Structure 1
Amino acid sequence: MACAACGPRLTFHGNTGDGEDPLSSTVDALRAGAIVAIKGVGGYHLVCDATNADALAALRARKQRPGKPLALMAPLAGDDGLDAVRTVASPDREQSALLLTPERPIVLLPARAGALPEAVAPGLSEVGVMLPYSPLHHLLLDSFGGVVVATSGNLSGEPVLTDARQVEQRIGHVADAFLHHDRPIVRPADDSVYRSVGGRPRPMRLGRGAAPLEIDLPFELAAPVVAAGSHMKNTVALGWGRRLVLSPHIGDLDSARSLAVHRQVIADLQSLYRVEARSCVCDAHPDYGSSRWAERSGLEVATVFHHHAHASALAIEFPEPGPWLVFAWDGVGLGDDGTLWGGETLYGGPGAWTRVATFRSFRLPGGERAAREPWRSALALAWELDRAPRARTRDMRVLKLAWETGINAPSTSAVGRIFDAAASLAGLVHTARYEGEAPMRLEQSSGPLPDAPSFPVTERDGMLVADWGELLDDMASADATLAARAARFHSRMASTLLCIAESSRERLGVNRVGLCGGVFQNRLLTDRAIERLEAGGFEVCLPSLLPVNDASIAAGQIVEHAFTASCGVERSP
């Protein structure tokens, strides 16, 4: 609702001056190819005409976002409201229903070939689309009459911006014009994002309309506790009694502003719910920004290992008692042996996880740089096998020496880095322009999945170890197309998961399997794994309330900590 006297009031500022009619001025600017920063409910979007290649190129250049997909907003049109969406994408029934929910999330949809410039989502066959979620957006899209790009109004990786003055200062070099309103945004909230995996849409990011997310716990917490969350895709959580509240998406804690918003959200959750935390939980990695906050908080601090938190987050949606097998596959996280995990199979339950399977470890030359430079992961696999690497760099001799002596070359078992290596070996992505580009491009390049054998799985000192060694020959095959090589890799990874599950069932008698970690955002891998597991008689648990990625870590930290003796859980009868 709006009132001519009381507001909300709109103001438009452009390079050519201020418009008398802010709405008309904004629409005219968009039609002329301008980039406009528009204030919404939870923050600002950077908006431009999705069909204007010059505007898209300018947006990418100014925001220094050369390849990351850009979200779209389509006007309501047609009997069911989705006619405009269907001009650029092909939603199925469940995706269509999700688009129309009051939360108005971004939903990743199959793109219509040739409907939009390649610059919207380079190298990908999906586009993220949402519908207008506020009266202002409805008015703008109705007047504009087409689909626009509506990407977060921030610097890449940082939380969304909410203040007019700050927006004009921080992204004034990106936007040509600004559309402000005078309603204060008290709590920032980025857009929620969903992708169909395992036969239904599942959250990848919880934001506007979906968070703070309130969850009923199947046990009683002895005292209020706050969880600082992960370093990447950070959220925080507050738990008390039998309640847990997960914050909206904050982002990666790599900048001073992200850390400031992290502190603000922790304080705001406690103020909003009138609960004062008596202790805090953080990741066991001491160098994470979230861990450093915990150490400075003045609260009693407990640490939880990254993959234990991943596994325990599953217990929120699947609280049935009894041990189970959880595959925690992601980038990297500190393990209880001091190495970087990421390809783990855990057995047990919250507070009592035991690692029963892993992948053959390898040393990452350059450490954290490998996440942005997949060629380093490919190099690592080649060197581990004493093979001549395909990747070349000017500093190869120095890099090899550092790798051999373990200088900035931590040992890891991370499946996320194995996917990076596969993408680089396939010639797709050697240097990633955004987080996750390499596995996303590998998935998009894959043809139909064949039946393919597991990578070898052997037992070493009581633990199952999957060996990726045959990957190099698979990816180097001159007899197979890129699509065939990518498909074979996905199929072999799913078969490896099944092999570990079947071997663990024989040893441990466990029949319930959970999937967690960012790798399971990959639809090809996850759908094939679920299909094979269910055909083998396993009960499969894949979260649909919480994201499968690091956004669920804070919730898992509270659950994992709650089941340790120090917290004193009172279980539900």
Structure 2
Amino acid sequence: MTLRWLLTGRVQGVGFRPFVYRLAREHGIHGWVRNRSGQVEILGQGRTDRLDRFERALTDAAPPTAAPHIAEREVLAWQQLEDFRIETSQAGDRPWIQVPPDHFACPDCLAEVRDPTDRRYRYPFNNCTQCGPRYTLIRALPYDRPNTTLSGFVMCPACATEYRDPGDRRFHAEPIACPDCGPWLSYRPDTAPAPAAEGEAAVEAAAAALRAGEILAVKGIGGYHLMCAADNTDAIERLRARKPRPHKPLAVLFPDEVSLLRREVNCSEAELACLRSAQRPILLLPRTPAPSLPESLAPGLGELGVMLPCSPLHALLLQAAGGPLVATSGNLSGEPVLTDNAEADARLSDVVDGFLHHNRPIQRPADDSVLRPIAGAVRPLRLGRGSAPLELELETGVPEPLLAVGAHMKNTLALAWDRRLIVSPHIGDMGSRRSLEVFRQLVEDFQALHGVRATRLLCDAHPDYTTHRWARESGLPVTPVFHHHAHASALCGEHGIDEPCLIFTWDGTGYGADGGLWGGEALYGRPGHWRHLARLRPFRLPGGDRAGREPWRAAAALCWENGLDYTPPVTEPSLLRAAWQRGLNSPATSAAGRLFDAAASLIGLLQTASYEGQGPMLLEQAAAGCAGEALVLPLLTEAPPWQLDWTPLLAHLRDGRLPVAQRAADFHASLAGAIRDTARRTAADHAFTRVGLTGGVFQNRLLTELAQSRLQAAGFEVLLCRQLPCNDAGISAGQVYEHLGGQRGED
């Protein structure tokens, strides 16, 4: 019997053809396997029972990083086939390209790096068909060596032998390399004109510099990290001053030693498994009662972002340095991570004391993924190396290829065609020239890589967003999508829900359907068909956008809205209030994020923020371990959108007789109770059983878990983000879901 299979899904860059070859030999199947523009085509001949077992094993026994799906199966006329071989890749007539993310080294490759008798001993770029970089080195598909950034490295005889040996795990491993023929390292102090050390010696030189308290730029898989010793307070403060990053938490890279990690953070077995996964994310975990690393790693917070080595290079550097290392993104604040050696030299020379470069080109940036345990699951805050490109399956086909260009902060792209939706890794905030340059590069690169050209763009409706202006200037048809509609649709879309729900979309600020600044909304409906039923009571922000970094402005707004005295920390406070009274540069907003800022200010935690979300993060930390009591917040229902009135919170937050922890905990409990009460009131008039929580505010674990508990007790099913971040990184996918929902029309 002769069969032909066409497999889609993640089948390239994961060692799938060598796997099929060995599987066919094991089952006595004759025929061939080949790549075909993102798909894998197989021709197999043999006894029926053997072919059945072979077919089941194609999916059941696939490599751990693969995700195959048998899209086609057909019986062919008998033809005489001999043996089984891997044929030359071909371009298919309908590309089905799925680009795998970058993965950490597999146990076999790590064992070689640690084995003094192995020819790849201490080689920092060791990989095989089951591990290593993919997204950041694939230039085009089919996934063959000439289409990767390794194309300039000619295989030595030993590597070539492994590459051609069907019994070797490096059989057709496209990034195959060794110390004789592959990429190499170079270490250079910032002031030196030439490398001071190369190869293995570069790791030792860099480690010595780190032990001496220096700050280094280290080129990894998807870009540079800024590194220093995590136990060196002076080095940490110098890094903060130079970047500058005075208070924002810094991630720490730990050796893969459980005892050392658990001395610093509380880590469950499930969380440890997440850290050890091939994704190798940054995971935000609670600090232990008596950690040894300095508090300055995350000032004022009870959590630490921790990660384990994401490449053999990082494992070797950790070992040589002798302890944990700060590993924060190698960029200027808010910009995409740097990837090019010369550009890193130019842009980071004022920040670091030295550079650990390598000469393997990085095709496109991929920053670290960031996750946080919330409500019983590890949930993404940032898509990056190891987690993206993220592919989601659409319920229905897309009439035309779409490119969604996301929001302004935490930007990502989303490409949709057929029934596929692919979300890019984190790009960054779109407020700098370099961010726009990388954005433009990825717009072209993402489409070319997947063999798809968008015929329509989706963008945020805010006319002043960089992505909105770019879309308008592109020459393509453009469909604007309201910010909070995209938030709500992203949550419903990833859950595959297309029936009426109530979705709370709470964040900083976003352009609303009425032209105002939304941010504390409750939307009823489904993707493409949302009704604005409730919101936090709006208030006018003195100074407009400046309130995002000056929480006292939000505090002033709440007090002045209610006729309460408040003296702002400015030279002429009466002039500011007079401008506010006249509505000058004082836009109205319903933003929950600004409400959190105001609470942090009124309690006395923070008046001026040095990074986004600092006030809310300090507020959550202040409430830790305290059982909050909810104040009843009235829901004013004269006309929709109903207003959830925060007024009862003001006197409580300003009451200095109450402990800070109690006021912070009561604030969270009150908002969680208000969410439940709003859902109950809405359910009296509208049919739904599901309530969703999304938007950047629900990165707050305490609020999310309190709200979930109260909603579930009231009989609602609660939807939380699982694969997409609830913050603006999920907006691009939400734009697609919202657009497609609108095209389907009303039920």
Establish whether TM, by shorter chain, passes 0.5.
Answer: yes
Aligned-residue Cα RMSD (Å) equals 1.4
1:115 and 2:327 correspond: no
* Superimposed CA distance per residue, residues 187-225 of structure 1 (whole angstroms, 9 cap, x where no aligned partner): 100000000111111000000011111111111110001
Aligned residue in 2 for 1:98: 274
| 1:145, distance to aligned residue in structure 2 (A) | 2.2
Residue 365 of structure 2 aligns with an amino acid whose one-letter code is: P
Aligned residue in 2 for 1:41: 221
Residue 504 of structure 1 aligns with an amino acid whose one-letter code is: T
1:396 and 2:576 correspond: no
Residue 303 of structure 2 aligns with an amino acid whose one-letter code is: E
1:23-102 superposed matches below 5 A? 23-77=203-257, 82-102=258-278
Alignment partner of 1:550 out of 719, 724, 728: 728
The whole-number CA distance in structure 2 between the counterparts of 1:29 and 1:329 is: 45
Residue 226 of structure 2 aligns to a residue whose secondary structure is strand
Counterpart contact for 2:633–2:674, Cα < 8 Å: yes
Residue 508 of structure 1 aligns to a residue whose secondary structure is coil
- TM score, norm. by length of structure 2: 0.74
Aligned residue in 2 for 1:533: 711
Structure 2: gaps of 5 or more residues: 1-125, 127-176
1:186-201 superposed matches below 5 A? 186-201=363-378
- TM score, norm. by length of structure 1: 0.97
1:470-509 superposed matches below 5 A? 470-509=648-687
* Superimposed CA distance per residue, residues 151-177 of structure 1 (whole angstroms, 9 cap, x where no aligned partner): 000001110000011001101111100
1:375-524 superposed matches below 5 A? 375-446=552-623, 447-524=625-702
1:168-317 superposed matches below 5 A? 168-317=345-494
Over 3 Å counting, the alpha-carbon distance change for 1:192 and 1:497 in structure 2 is: same
Alignment partner of 1:7 out of 169, 182, 198: 182
Counterpart contact for 2:631–2:649, Cα < 8 Å: no
1:551-566 superposed matches below 5 A? 551-565=729-743
The whole-number CA distance in structure 1 between the counterparts of 2:746 and 2:590 is: 36
Q: Which runs of 4+ in 1 moved over 4 A?
A: 568-571
Aligned residue in 1 for 2:138: none
* Superimposed CA distance per residue, residues 325-377 of structure 1 (whole angstroms, 9 cap, x where no aligned partner): 00000000011111100010000001100011111110111111100110100
The whole-number CA distance in structure 2 between the counterparts of 1:433 and 1:201 is: 27
| 1:569, distance to aligned residue in structure 2 (A) | 8.6
| 1:322, distance to aligned residue in structure 2 (A) | 1.7
Over 3 Å counting, the alpha-carbon distance change for 1:427 and 1:244 in structure 2 is: same
Number of residue pairs aligned between Structure 1 and Structure 2: 565
Counterpart contact for 2:210–2:229, Cα < 8 Å: yes
Counterpart contact for 2:190–2:349, Cα < 8 Å: no
Counterpart contact for 1:423–1:438, Cα < 8 Å: yes
The whole-number CA distance in structure 1 between the counterparts of 2:386 and 2:568 is: 45
The whole-number CA distance in structure 2 between the counterparts of 1:484 and 1:459 is: 30
Aligned residue in 1 for 2:172: none
The whole-number CA distance in structure 2 between the counterparts of 1:398 and 1:478 is: 28
Over 3 Å counting, the alpha-carbon distance change for 1:92 and 1:187 in structure 2 is: same
| 1:135, distance to aligned residue in structure 2 (A) | 1.0
Aligned residue in 1 for 2:61: none
The whole-number CA distance in structure 1 between the counterparts of 2:311 and 2:595 is: 42
Residue 184 of structure 2 aligns with an amino acid whose one-letter code is: R
| 1:386, distance to aligned residue in structure 2 (A) | 1.3
Counterpart contact for 2:389–2:425, Cα < 8 Å: yes
Counterpart contact for 1:222–1:569, Cα < 8 Å: no
Counterpart contact for 1:454–1:494, Cα < 8 Å: no
Q: Which has the larger radius of gyration?
A: 2
The whole-number CA distance in structure 2 between the counterparts of 1:193 and 1:142 is: 24
* Superimposed CA distance per residue, residues 405-436 of structure 1 (whole angstroms, 9 cap, x where no aligned partner): 22211110011100000000011011001000
Structure 1: gaps of 5 or more residues: none
1:149 and 2:329 correspond: no
The whole-number CA distance in structure 1 between the counterparts of 2:746 and 2:573 is: 56
* Superimposed CA distance per residue, residues 240-276 of structure 1 (whole angstroms, 9 cap, x where no aligned partner): 0100110100111010001111111111110110100
Over 3 Å counting, the alpha-carbon distance change for 1:86 and 1:114 in structure 2 is: closer
Counterpart contact for 1:9–1:182, Cα < 8 Å: yes
Over 3 Å counting, the alpha-carbon distance change for 1:95 and 1:390 in structure 2 is: farther
Counterpart contact for 2:411–2:426, Cα < 8 Å: yes
Residue 46 of structure 1 aligns with an amino acid whose one-letter code is: L
Alignment partner of 1:22 out of 194, 198, 202: 202
The whole-number CA distance in structure 2 between the counterparts of 1:465 and 1:426 is: 24
| 1:450, distance to aligned residue in structure 2 (A) | 2.6
| 1:179, distance to aligned residue in structure 2 (A) | 0.4
* Superimposed CA distance per residue, residues 99-156 of structure 1 (whole angstroms, 9 cap, x where no aligned partner): 0110100000111334211210000010000000111111111222211000000001
Instruction: Report the more deviating stretch, 395-404 or 503-512.
Output: 395-404
Instruction: Report the more deviating stretch, 433-442 or 398-407.
Output: 398-407
Over 3 Å counting, the alpha-carbon distance change for 1:154 and 1:16 in structure 2 is: closer
Instruction: Report the more deviating stretch, 265-274 or 449-458.
Output: 449-458
